[in-house]
Amino acid sequence: MMLSKKTKYVLLAGLVLGLAVIYVPLVVVLLNSVNSDTTFGWPPSGFTFEWWGRAAQNEGVLRALVTSLEAGLAATVLALVLGMMAAFALQRYRFFGKDTVSLLIILPIALPGIVTGIALNNAFRTILGVDLGLFTAIVAHATFCIVVVFNNVVARLRRMGGNLEEASMDLGADGITTFRLVTFPMLRSALLAGGLLAFALSFDEIIVTTFTLGAGLQTLPIWILDNLFRPNQAPVVNVVAAVLIVVSTVPVYLAQRLSGDTASGGRL
C-alpha cells in the first residue's frame, strides 16, 4: 500500500481505540464482580470473592443455570441434526425453491428478535394450544440455532468437494460406509464448531426466550433481567454477568480456532 506513514498510524490508533472500546466494558463487568463495593462505583474500592461465593449458593441462579444448560444442549442437538440435513440438501442438490429454503434458514435470525419471539409465542399459545415451558423455549432456540450449524457445515462441504466420496464409492464402499468413514470425519470439526456456536447463541439469547419460556422458569439472561433493578441483588447480578461473558466467549473462541470457515459476517 502506498499510503503515507501518517495515515497508517492514524488508522492504527483508530483500531486500537476501537478494540479498547469493545473490551473495556466487558473488563469492567469482570472487575465489578470482584469489587467489594456493592454499587457501580469506579474505581473499585477493594477485592473480594464474596459475591462469587454468594452467587454459587443462590438457588435462583443455580436453577437458571440448569435451565440455560438444558435449553442450550437440547437446542444444540436439534440444530445439529436439522442444520446438517439442510446443509447436505442445499450443498449437494439442485432443486426448485433452493433460494427460498436458504432464505428460510436465515429468517429466524434476520428478523428482529421480538418478531420471532411473538410469532412463536402466538403460535404455541393460540394456534397449537401448547403451554409455554422448557420445551417451547428449546424449540424456539433450535429454530434460530439451525443457521449457525448450517453455515459451518455448508462452508466445509463446499471446501472439501466430492472427490474423496466418489473415490470411496469407486473403491466399493456403499453410501453409509462412505459417510461413516469419509464424509463424517471431515465434517467433524465443522460440526463441533457449529455446535459450540449454537450453544453460545442459545445460552445468551434473551428476547426470543422471554416470549417462549414458561412462567416460573428462568435462564441466566432472564434471571439477570429480572434482578437488574433490585439494588440488593446487584453484586450477584455482577457475578452472573461475568460468568455469562466467560461462558459464551470461550466456545466462540474455540469454534474459530477449530474451523477457518466461521469468519462470515454478522451473527450468521
Partner 1 sequence: MSIAASVSGFLYRKPRLRLGMLLSAPLLWLGLAYLGALAALFVTAFWHTDTFTGQVVTEWSLDNFATLFRDEVYRTITVRTLGIAVAVTVIDAVIAFPMAFYMAKFASPRAQRVLVIAVMTPLWASYLVKAYSWRIMLSGNGLIGWLFGATPGYGLAATVITLSYLWLPYMILPIYAGLDRLPNSLVEASGDLGGRPWGTFRSVVLPLTFPAIVAGSIFTFSLTLGDYITVKIVGGANQMLGNVVYDNIGAANNLPFAATVATVPVVIMLVYLAAVRRTGALDNL
Which residues between 130 and 169 bind partner 1 (CB under 8 A)? Answer: 139, 142-143, 146
- Residue 156: count of CB within 10 angstroms of its CB: 22
Residue 5 beta carbon to partner 1: minimum distance, rounded to whole angstroms: 11
3-class SS of residue 224: helix
Say which residues have a Cβ less than 8 Å from residue 62's Cβ, sequence separation at least 6: 56
Residue 69 binding partner 1, by CB under 8 A: no
Q: Which residue among 50, 131, 166, 174 contacts partner 1 (CB under 8 A)?
A: 174
- Residue 103: count of CB within 10 angstroms of its CB: 11
The one segment of 52-60, 151-159, 184-192, 193-201 that binds partner 1 by CB under 8 A: 193-201
Residue 190 beta carbon to partner 1: minimum distance, rounded to whole angstroms: 17
Residue 266 beta carbon to partner 1: minimum distance, rounded to whole angstroms: 5
**Closest CB to partner 1 among residues 28, 160:** 28
Q: Which residue among 69, 82, 160, 192 contacts partner 1 (CB under 8 A)?
A: 82
**Closest CB to partner 1 among residues 73, 82:** 82
**Closest CB to partner 1 among residues 97, 161:** 97
Report the distance separating Cα 147 and Cα 164, nearest Å.
26
8-state DSSP, 181: I
Backbone angles phi, psi at 47, to 5 degrees: -110, 135
Residue 184 binding partner 1, by CB under 8 A: no
User: Quick one: which of 239, 246, 238, 244 has its CA closest to 39?
Assistant: 238
Say which residues have a Cβ less than 8 Å from residue 17's Cβ, sequence separation at least 6: none
Residue 146 beta carbon to partner 1: minimum distance, rounded to whole angstroms: 7
Angle at Cα 189 formed by Cα 184 and Cα 193, nearest 5°? 125
Q: Which residue among 62, 66, 114, 164 contacts partner 1 (CB under 8 A)?
A: 114
Residue 91 beta carbon to partner 1: minimum distance, rounded to whole angstroms: 10
Residue 13 beta carbon to partner 1: minimum distance, rounded to whole angstroms: 8
**Can you name the residues that pair with 47 across neighbouring β-strands?**
35
8-state DSSP, 179: I
**Closest CB to partner 1 among residues 142, 191:** 142
Q: Which residue among 62, 66, 81, 181 contacts partner 1 (CB under 8 A)?
A: 81
Q: Which residue among 85, 134, 192, 217 contacts partner 1 (CB under 8 A)?
A: 85
Report the distance separating Cα 158 and Cα 92, nearest Å.
9
Say which residues have a Cβ less than 8 Å from residue 65's Cβ, sequence separation at least 6: 220
Residue 258 beta carbon to partner 1: minimum distance, rounded to whole angstroms: 12
